[in-house]
Amino acid sequence: MQVFLPSHRPWKSRKTRGIPTFPTAPTTAGICQTKSGNLVVVDRKEYLTPDKIYSDDFNSEERDKILGSLKKAIGIADFKIVRIWGEQVEDRGSQITFSALGQHAPLEEKTNWDPDVNKRKKIKAILDTFIPEFSVRTGGSTSIDITKPGVDKAYGIGKLRDLLGVSIKEMIYIGDALYVGGNDYPVKEAGVDCIPVRDPHDTKLVIRTLIACLTVGDTAS
């Protein structure tokens, strides 16, 4: 069984968040084939290598328009945020992400801020009028992701299928935003079998359970 992590988040950032160091899938940012044979995401300039396969970064004009629109939308929504942990807006090259409480907010704080997604839906609705040429989706507990249209996690899954020769029917996807408008929803629309989870702890539990079940199956056969 191969486990991949489709994400725009820088690899070293994922390590600090307690995410297991599985190989990672191609996403909207880019893919590298490492010497070990694993696929790794290339989503910031410091990670670019000669092994890079593709990248769909915003140009400077697109980036400026998105950042300006995001700033205006946040002001119009006017949600009162008492404390912010780290940067609220992160430019990940091919994705710009707004994290309401900051990139390093505690999980409990993030979980309690927008449990029904209504706050982010309001910001998304405003952004959809400002930048209709881009894709705006909610993700995680406090995030809004902005990408080029069609350049989403389903796009990354398609790259994974083509590069590794693994069919959609052979894949299982685990995500916390599989609802309509969530950043995992395009994968569900693409026909991949999906398992909804609440947080990284759920994700690790599901992955470990799947691996254990498949290992037992292989031993029995």
Q: What per-residue confidence (pLDDT) applies to 52?
A: 57
What confidence category does residue 214 fall into, taking pLDDT thresholds of 50, 70 and 90?
confident
More confident residue, 60 or 53: 60
Q: Rounded CA gap, 23 and 163, in Å? A: 14
With a threshold of 0.75, does the pTM exceed it? Answer: no
Q: What per-residue confidence (pLDDT) applies to 22?
A: 39
Domains in the chain: boundaries: 11-56+151-220, 60-147
For the segment 192-214, the average pLDDT, to the nearest whole number, is 87
Residue closest to 144 by CA, chosen among 159, 161, 130: 130
Q: Lowest mean pLDDT: which of 14-18, 108-112, 177-181, 188-192?
A: 14-18
Side-chain-facing half-sphere of 55: CA atoms under 13 Å: 19
Top-tier CATH class for 60-147: alpha beta
Q: Please give the mean pLDDT across all residues of the chain.
A: 79
For the segment 190-216, the average pLDDT, to the nearest whole number, is 86
Q: What per-residue confidence (pLDDT) applies to 39?
A: 45
pLDDT at 64 over 60: yes
> Three-state DSSP class for 78?
coil
What confidence category does residue 204 fall into, taking pLDDT thresholds of 50, 70 and 90?
confident
Percent of the chain exceeding pLDDT 90 equals: 41
Q: What per-residue confidence (pLDDT) applies to 56?
A: 78
> Three-state DSSP class for 34?
coil
Range from 30-39, 49-58, 95-104, 149-158 that averages highest in pLDDT: 95-104
Percent of the chain exceeding pLDDT 70 equals: 72
pLDDT at 83 over 70: yes
Count CB atoms within 10 A of the CB of residue 141. Answer: 24
Task: Give me Rg for the CA atoms of the chain.
Answer: 18
Given a contact cutoff of 8 angstroms between Cβ atoms, the answer to whether 30 and 54 are in contact is yes
pLDDT at 213 over 70: yes
pLDDT at 140 over 50: yes
Please list, in sequence order, all residues whose beta carbon lies within 8 angstroms of the beta carbon of residue 79, skipping any fewer than 6 positions away: 100, 119
Side-chain-facing half-sphere of 181: CA atoms under 13 Å: 13
pLDDT at 202 over 50: yes
